[in-house]
Chain A
Amino acid sequence: MINVLIVEDDPMARQLLEIYINTSEKYNHIQSVESAALAEFCCRTNKVDVVLMDVCTAMNASGLDAAEKIKKSFPDTKVIIITSQPECSFIDRAHKVGVDSFWYKSSAAEEILSVLDRTMAGEQVYPESAPSLKLGNTFSENLTDRELEVLRELVAGESDAAIAEKLFMSLRTVKGHIQSMREKTGFRNRTELAVRARESGLIINNK
């Protein structure tokens, strides 16, 4: 039997995943925790073969941060990130920290179990591309990487000057990126741009 650790802060989603695991014949659900901050501890005190983990978990703990720690300390333990957030940077970051597979929570039980099977068979399962999100008059893929970086700081509530300092750009460049995004999206001001980006799930900070 393959031991599965579930890290999910939403109790309903967590129990649903537990049901999927408990009703399958191959997998054994050994523990569930609400916060990714506890994931490494659970791996240390239990024999965990695979971790099914959300990105945004209780106490603001990031599943991606926890995945990085787990992969460093327990390279043989498989980590599957499952999220409902279409945040554009999650997939890239998951690749970087060595997450084995990345999938979306909205999938049916069979699909999630299939991702588990393929991951345990040594396959890396990732969506082909990040989901396309509509942002005003444009789509998320039409924003450049640099614009997305500026947008991320904007959503965090940083001033233009603070963004410039943080991203090592001039104030004029920051204003230029914001203006460019406003033109693409058709939003009236920076606040609307930030609010809509956050609402759409395109940008989720501190994860």
Chain B
Amino acid sequence: MIGFCDLHYAVKSIFLVVTFVAVCSSICLLPRVFSRKKLMPKLLVPLCFLLSGAMLILFAAQVKSAHPSWHISPIIESVTELPVILPILLLLAVITTLLTIVIKEIKFEKNSITRSSVKESLDSLNTGLCFAYKNGMVMLINHRMNNLSHTIFGRNLQNVNAFWENLSNGEIQSGVTRLSMGANPSLRLPDERVWTFSRKVIDGITQLTAAETTKLNKLTEELKEKNAELTVMNERLRKYGENVDKLTREKERLETKVRIHRELGQALLLTRRYLQVDSDNTQELLNILKRNIAMLRLESESLKNDEPLIMLMKAAHSAGIEVLITGQTPKQEDANRLFFEAATEALTNAVRHADAKKLCVELTEDDKAYFVYFTNDGSKPQNKIVEGGGLGSLRLKTEQIGGTMEVLYQPEFVLKITVPKKRGDVL
């Protein structure tokens, strides 16, 4: 029988190379099989490693013994003289075992969820994802999140807590822009893509995610622009409504003038008829003439309305009540209207509940707001004022324009209203 020592040098070399490959393969497989639960691969792979390793050492020593200075031990010599079929069969068995285990490993990798498959799937996500311990130390991170950290801060993500803080306040790379901060910070990267980050703590584990919101951001910006346009348009519409009010009044006045002319014409015709038929109903004729003259006077007069508080003073004066006003009326339209309404309410209440003869109106203002105080000289309220329809409605209107209303009853009745100045009105 031919032993290994009788083989041709080239065949020996091939045998040794194949054995070496088997040794390397079994070394590579060792950590994998020991991470699995199955027992058989855990036994077979070390056995293959030992057998192939022993063969490599023995046969390599035999090949080396060809050198004159090398003295081979008798045990090695006797092994190499064994029929060559034995080591070949042994090597084939080792290779077959290893191949079987490799194929099973590949199948297992493909069909089972393993640590590496989880990592692999996370890395293939377009969303940035990172899990960390409470202290911020990274547990699992995918490529996208690491790339984002690199693009934003120029370094890998080491600590989630520090990363989260830096998203809002830290130094960022040039070309990166912060779009919005708060619960979900958004940043625009140099490639014009927008990423929104969010953080969530699940059972003590921090989950950090980054989603690409470029389209959403674009749509939101477009929506904001459209809303701004709409707000401007609605405001213009509101102002237009006010202008239409003025125009309507002018139109109404014109119609009144037309009506006066029409009635004057009718009155003249009636007068003529009365004179022609020599009617006895002189009282009716007198009334018509009186109306005629009054109308003619009306046309020649320049008619103008009083200022709001003068209107109030006149109405109060006709009822024997004096209204004392100090200070200037607000320039702000909503405050002016509200203060006038409050004044009429205060006047009505002063007459109704306090039998007052004097109403004091004190108007003041500072940089931020307009104030009005109403007091009267009537009987002082004994109990807390219960706000009925009038004061209740006034409070509602005050609050609708952002103001505040206070009703005091001790030591005397005081109605105090504050209306904040609008931005354009603040000095």
Which of A93-101, A136-144, A194-202 lies at the binding interface? A194-202
Say whether A105 faces chain B, with CB atoms less than 8 Å apart: yes
Q: Report A40-71 residues with CB < 8 Å from chain B CB.
A: 40-42, 44-46, 56, 58-61, 69
Given A85-B248, A195-B237, A41–B319 Cβ distance below 8 Å?
yes
Segment from A20-28, A122-130, A171-179, A180-188 that makes contact with B: A20-28
Bound: A101/B394 CA distance, A: 28
From residue A77, how far is it (CB to closest CB) to chain B in Å?
15
Contact of B303 among A11, A19, A20 (CB under 8 A): A11
Among residues of A, the one whose C-beta sits closest to the C-beta of B298 is A15
In the complex, which residues of chain A have a beta carbon less than 8 angstroms from the beta carbon of B252? 10, 13, 84, 105
**Given A10-B253, A10-B256, A19-B298: A37 touches B344 (CB 8 Å cut-off):** yes
If A16-B256, A159-B230, A198-B241 touch, whether A35 touches B295 (CB-CB below 8 Å) is no
Q: Is B312 an interface residue (CB 8 A)?
A: yes
- CB-CB < 8 A to A35: which residues of B? 308, 311, 340, 344
Bound-state CA distance A73–B256 (Å) is 32
Does A33 have its Cβ within 8 Å of any Cβ on chain B? Answer: yes
Contact residues in B for A158 (Cβ distance below 8 Å): 234
**Interface digits, B258-271 against A, CB 8 Å rule (1 contact, 0 not)?**
01101100100000
Q: What A residues does B390 contact at CB under 8 A? A: 69
Which segment of B21-29, B161-169, B347-355 sits at the interface?
B347-355
A9 to B246, CA, bound (A): 12
CB-CB < 8 A to B320: which residues of A?
A: 45
Assess A41 versus B344: contact at CB under 8 Å? Given A33-B311, A85-B248, A157-B238: yes
B259 touches A19 (CB 8 A): no
* Neighbouring A residues of B294 by C-beta, 8 Å: 19, 22-23
Q: How large is the interface on A (under 10, 10 to 19, 20 to 34, 35 or more residues)?
A: 35 or more
Q: Which residues of B contact A41 (CB under 8 A)?
A: 315-316, 319, 344, 347-348, 351
**Which chain A residue lies CB-closest to B333?**
A60
Give Cα A25–Cα B312 distance, bound, in whole angstroms: 30
Query: B86 an interface residue at 8 Å Cβ cutoff?
Result: no
Residue in A closest to B299 when the chains form the complex, CB atoms = A12
A105-123 to B contact mask, C-beta < 8 Å, 1/0: 1101100000000000000
Bound complex: CA of A195 vs CA of B233, how far in Å? 11
A132 contact set on B, CB distance < 8 A: none
Q: How far is the CB of A192 from chain B (nearest CB, A)?
A: 11
| B119 located at the interface, meaning its Cβ lies under 8 Å from any Cβ of chain A in the complex | no
Interchain CB contact under 8 A, B344 and A23: no
Q: In the bound complex, do residue A25 and residue B351 qualify as a contact, i.e. CB atoms below 8 Å apart?
A: no
Give A201 to B255 CA distance when docked, in angstroms.
Answer: 15
Interface centre among B235, B259, B288, B290 (most CB of A within 10 A): B259
Complexed CA–CA distance, A205 and B252 (Å): 18
A34 touches which one: B227, B240, B311 (CB < 8 A)?
A: B311
Q: In the complex the two chains form, what is the Cα distance from A182 to B251 in whole Å?
A: 27
Residue of A whose beta carbon sits closest to that of B310? A34
Beta-carbon contact of B298 and A12 below 8 Å: yes
* A16 and B305 within 8 A (CB): no
Q: A191 in the interface, Cβ–Cβ < 8 Å?
A: yes
Residue B341, interface by CB 8 Å: yes
Cβ B234 vs Cβ A23 within 8 A: no
B351: which A residues are within 8 A, CB to CB?
A: 41, 44-45
In the assembled complex, the Cα of A58 lies from the Cα of B343 at a distance in Å of 14
Known contacts A59-B337, A158-B234; A23/B291 CB under 8 A: yes
* Residue in B227, B237, B336 whose beta carbon sits within 8 Å of that of A157 in the complex: B237
Q: Could you tell me the distance in whole angstroms from the C-beta of B91 to the nearest C-beta in chain A?
A: 78
Q: Quick one: closest A residue to B305, CB to CB?
A: A34
**Are A108 and B305 touching (Cβ within 8 A)?**
no
Chain A CB within 8 A of B276 CB: no
In the complex, the answer to whether B352 meets A44 with C-beta atoms within 8 Å is: yes
Contact residue among A46, A59, A198 (Cβ-Cβ distance under 8 Å from B240): A198
Do B287 and A23 have beta carbons less than 8 Å apart?
yes
- Asked if residues B303 and A15 are in contact (CB atoms below 8 Å), the reply is yes
Report whether B352 and A59 are in contact in the complex, using a CB–CB cutoff of 8 Å: no
Residues of A close to B327: CB separation below 8 A? none
Residues of A within 8 A of B290 (CB): 22-23
Query: Within 8 Å of chain B (Cβ to Cβ): is A38?
Result: yes
Bound-state Cα–Cα, A9 to B256, Å: 13
Question: Is B318 on the interface with A (CB-CB < 8 A)?
Answer: yes
Complex contacts, A205 vs chain B, CB 8 Å = 241
Query: Is the Cβ of B259 less than 8 Å from the Cβ of A106?
Result: yes
Give Cα distance in the complex from A109 to B266, angstroms.
11
Q: Check if A61 sits within 8 Å of B341, measured CB to CB.
A: yes
A45 touches B233 (CB 8 A): no
Task: Kindly report which residue of chain A lies nearest to residue B250, judged by CB atoms.
Answer: A10
Q: How far is the CB of A178 from chain B (nearest CB, A)?
A: 13
Q: A61-B341, A157-B241 are in contact. Are A12 and B348 (CB under 8 A)?
A: no
Give the chain A neighbours of B347 by CB distance below 8 A. 41
A72-B295 Cα distance, complex, nearest whole Å: 36
A164 beta carbon closer than 8 Å to chain B:
no
Residue B244 interfacial (CB < 8 Å): yes
Q: Is A89 located at the chain interface by the 8 A CB criterion?
A: no
Residue among A13, A22, A45, A198 with the most chain B CB within 10 A?
Answer: A45
Name the residue of chain B whose CB is nearest to the CB of A205: B241
Which one, B240, B248, B306, B311, contacts A195 given CB within 8 A?
A: B240
Kindly list 7 other residue pairs between chains A and B, CB separation below 8 angstroms, not including A58-B308, A60-B337, A84-B255: A25-B287, A33-B311, A40-B348, A41-B347, A42-B318, A72-B389, A108-B262
Q: Return 15 A-B CB contacts under 8 Å, by A number.
A: A9-B305, A10-B249, A10-B256, A15-B301, A15-B303, A19-B294, A25-B283, A35-B308, A37-B344, A38-B315, A108-B263, A157-B237, A195-B237, A198-B241, A201-B248
Please give me the 4 A-B residue pairs with the lowest Cβ-Cβ distance, nearest first.
A45-B319, A11-B303, A157-B234, A157-B238
